[in-house]
A and B are shown apart, each in its own frame.
Chain A
Amino acid sequence: MSRESRVIRALKIVIWCGAACPVAWMVWAGFTDHLGADPVREVQGVTGLAALTLLLITLAVTPLRRLSGVNSLIRLRRLLGLWGFAYVVLHATIYFVLDQSLSLPLIWEDTLKHPRIFVGMGAFLLLIPLAATSTTASIRRLGGQRWAAVHRLAYLATALGVLHYLWVVKWDVTNPAIYALVFVGLMLPRLSLGQPAPKRREPAKPSILQSNNPILP
């Protein structure tokens, strides 16, 4: 195994450990009565924040890869994205079950009536096709270009997630504002990345599987 592969494998272990921390903390806190008087609210806060943090880290992979020149960093992106999606699913499930008692009319009404729920639901639904096409087989089946186009939905989903967070807080928007700034910071290099694209059309069709060309997202 090359040195780079070993580093990637080590980073994957770090990601597994780090991403499992919030869920491990919730289990520990549940058993030791550290979730406070309203455990559901606490768990919703933790899962929501974990989801958004992981989605932002996922979006940071491509800029980091360009800055560092370490192309194999791309191999961490799926792991990060899927962990983020796992927390989104947990977050949404708690909302469906405990807040809305699995009542479709209640969920429908809440979604249409409240922009905060609407954008949150939007982010959840947008991420489903991304998770579903996260396998290598899907990349092959769709083709790198089409796959990348679909996966640009991650930008929109994350933006909606940030907005959802901003609308949750009662008054003090400091934390959501930090998330929003990080998101904008991660999107800025992507806007300028659009320009040098023509140069890269010359070689054969880039495939996300082996090409060194950075393919967004």
Chain B
Amino acid sequence: MLIRRPPDIRSSEITEERLYWNRREFIGAVAGAALVPLTTRDLRLTTRDDDKLTPYKDVTSYNNFYEFGTGKDEPAVYARDFRTRPWKVEVVGEVMKPATYEFDDLVKGFTLQERVYRHRCVEAWSMVIPWLGFPLADLVKRLQPTSRARYIEFTTLDDPGQMPGQQSEMLPWPYVEGLRLDEAMNPLALMVTGLYGKPLPNQNGAPLRLVVPWKYGFKGGKSIVRIRLTSAMPATTWNIVAPNEYGFYANVNPDVDHPRWSQARERRVGELLKRKTLPFNGYADQVAGLYTGMDLRTNF
């Protein structure tokens, strides 16, 4: 099946649909207006085409990091004393020289860049976050994969003593995520060590996490201790526990719903009404080519 690439028309040029949505949003806004006086938050009634940064406070207090509890506010509380130094990252599998690196040695030599990415959770909410990091592609090149390497796997720390969420068998720990190697080599895939110009807060996956902006957030493994290159597709955590709900690819796709909820729209944190979800989270131009010829309904 051909991938339906979005036409190269700016959304601002598509007038009629926008008018339609604006009308809807206006009706919703009038009805929703009654709710606004009930909150002191800077809530916006209508959605806009812009991608205003999500406030630091929200980025660091509304987290899915089940190792520290399933509540959105729990990671910020229970990760407070999490030790991120010393930190070792093991590199194994299809690489020329398997080794264990001190975190500081591993990231040394990479120039940190700020990348403002949309972040879309599989639960249909989203944020806009200024990450600090370096391209995963640069790291992969330095690790020198063998010719057999086709996939890359990321493993999160397994330490129930520090991670209270791991004391329950809710998910099979440790958390494992992975990418196809060509996805990993895409310049958008980012190894992240900070946000908002500061070192990565513990609740956001310190000291090292992955961010893949065209995929649902759960693809971005946090507090990574092991990187494995492999010839076979790695078994990834959410795909193991609910294969019909969470695929290996997990590309943001408004046309393929989660079995229990729609993925067509999302709520940008800080806004009252939902906005449309964009194919590949708005990064189709840069990444759709990775999936040419693939049926994205079966490879969800």
A residues neighboring B (CB under 8 Å) = 26-27, 30-33, 35-41, 97-103, 110, 113-117, 167-168, 170-172
Contacts and interface: CB of A to CB of B under 8 A. Distances in A.
B158 interface: no
A33 B260 CA distance: 30
Question: Nearest 9 pairs between A and B by C-beta?
Answer: A37-B62, A37-B58, A101-B28, A30-B39, A30-B38, A101-B24, A97-B31, A37-B269, A116-B260
Interface stretch (B187-195, B204-212, B270-278, B284-292): B270-278
A116 B124 CA distance: 15
A113 B24 CA distance: 21
A101 B39 contact: no
A114 B272 contact: no
Interface in B66-84: 70, 72-73
Interface of B: 21, 24-25, 27-28, 31-32, 35, 38-41, 43, 54, 57-58, 61-62, 70, 72-73, 123, 125, 170-171, 241-242, 257, 259-262, 265, 267, 269-270, 272-274
A36 B260 contact: no
A36 B62 contact: yes
Secondary structure type dominating chain A contacts: helix
Given A97-B28, A102-B28, A114-B261, A38 B62 contact: yes
Given A98-B274, A116-B260, A37 B24 contact: no
A172 B70 contact: yes
Nearest to A103: B24
A167 B259 CA distance: 10
17 contacts: A36-B72, A36-B73, A37-B54, A37-B58, A37-B62, A38-B125, A38-B269, A39-B41, A99-B265, A99-B267, A102-B31, A103-B24, A114-B259, A114-B261, A115-B260, A117-B261, A171-B242
A40 B267 contact: yes
Q: Which of B58, B242, B260 has the most CB of A within 10 A?
A: B260
B261 to A, nearest CB: 6
A39 B39 contact: yes
Contact of B262 (A110, A167, A172): A110
Contacts of B265: 99
Contacts of A98: 28, 32, 35, 272-274
B177 to A, nearest CB: 16
A104 to B, nearest CB: 10
A117 B31 CA distance: 21
Contacts of A97: 28, 31-32
Contacts of B260: 114-116, 167-168
Contacts of B43: 39
Contacts of A32: 40
B125 A116 contact: no
Contacts of A30: 38-41
A60 to B, nearest CB: 28
Contacts of B261: 114, 116-117
B244 to A, nearest CB: 13
A33 B257 contact: no
